[in-house]
Amino acid sequence: MSDSQSSSHVDSAAHAANPNLQHHFDSMEQQYESGKLGMWLFLVTEILLFGGLFCAYAVYRHNHPEIFTYAHQFLDKSLGGFNTIVLIVSSLTMAMAVRAAQLGQRRLLTTCLALTLACAFLFLGVKFVEYEHKWKHGLLWGKNYEVQGEMAGATEALMIPAAPSQSGSAADVDPNATILPRAARAPEGLAAEVGDHGDGVADAADDHATHGLEPKNVHLFFGIYFVMTGLHGIHVLAGIGVITWLLIRSLRGDFGPDYFAPVDFTGLYWHVVDLIWIFLFPLLYLID
């Protein structure tokens, strides 16, 4: 790969010229390249960290597709979609910040960093709204999963058309009559689940049937949902911390064409955080 970079000669002139050059490097270029390689490797570890979760997701979705099809309907696609746009915009402003730093456009740099920061906060704000909603309705992990309030109604409404679709008389019930129209079509896994409950299907409005229609262990989806989005949220928080630090330094005027590595590396990190969300969004919100 790389050829040997350093002539191990102490180039004292280079060190005097740039105070940002650390003692053990011979040139700014060597220092920048080292930092960049380090950052890429760090990002590889980040991808692998999430990779574990994506594997868990794949295993559970493969083993229990009905849980995912059923439970994802409780997620708000419009909020998720909005958040996706927010993050993409923030990626754009971050990229512009890197460019501004390289060109020494200090004001543009500060503005772009501030915009990125604002997007990050907006993302977390929306995420908070989503979490709070789920918390209120008991759409949680493990034993805490307990559908309450209007959501319980939604569950019922959701599932009513599922029964006829199994018994072959879908025409009897208009799927559009339910609160969440499109989503209401029962997935195959669900139908199988319904089949187990035999007679209950006949009277779909019956409470028993409603319970029977919900696949077992729906909480697993929310467990995975909270772990994945939670870990991603922690990464956004970390990003906020680093970007704030960059903002302070850029206000101080630390960055310019010959020293922009921190902005560049943070940009890489931020793009990866964005990228992970771009995978999370369809996997969790857009399952149909």
CB nearer another protein, residue 22 or residue 169:
22
Q: Answer whether 262's CB lies under 8 Å from 20's CB.
A: no
* Residue placing its CB nearer to another protein in the complex, 114 or 242: 242
Burial class (CB in 10 A: 0-12, 13-18, 19+), 7: exposed
220: tokens are 């697993």
Least separation in angstroms between CB 105 and another protein: 29
User: Toward another protein, which CB reaches closer, 8 or 78?
Assistant: 8
Q: Which is nearer to another protein, 11 or 130 (CB)?
A: 11
Residue 277: count other Cβ atoms within 10 Å of its Cβ.
23
Closest distance to another protein from the beta carbon of 244 (Å): 20
Please report how close the Cβ of residue 213 comes to another protein at its closest, in angstroms: 17
Q: Closer to another protein at the Cβ: 1 or 13?
A: 1
Q: Which is nearer to another protein, 152 or 227 (CB)?
A: 227
Contacts of 174 (CB under 8 A, 6+ apart): none
Distances from the Cα of 242 to the Cαs of 88, 91, 237, 246, in angstroms?
Answer: 18, 15, 9, 6
Q: How far is CA 160 from the centre of its chain?
A: 32
- Position of tokens 């990779």? 51
Rounded to the nearest whole angstrom, what is the least distance from the CB of residue 239 to another protein in the complex? Answer: 17
39: Cβ–Cβ under 8 A, 6 or more apart, which residues?
265, 268, 269
Chain position carrying tokens 């990464």: 235
β partners of residue 259: 256
Site residues, another protein (CB under 8 A): 1-9, 22-25, 30, 33-35, 37-38, 41-42, 44-46, 48-53, 55-56, 59-60, 63-64, 141-144, 216-217, 219-220, 223-224, 226-227, 231
* Least Å from the CB of residue 171 to another protein: 34
CB atoms within 10 A of CB 94: 29
Closer residue to another protein in complex, CB, 2/176: 2
Shortest approach of another protein to residue 219 CB, angstroms? 6
- Nearest distance from residue 85's CB to another protein, in Å? 28
CA distances, 229 to each of 123, 219, 250 (Å): 12, 15, 30
User: Amino acid identity of 70?
Assistant: Y
Buried b / exposed e over 182-195, threshold 16 CB at 10 Å, is ebbebbebbbebbe
CB of 35 to another protein, least distance (A): 7
Select 100 or 265, whichever has its Cβ closest to another protein: 265
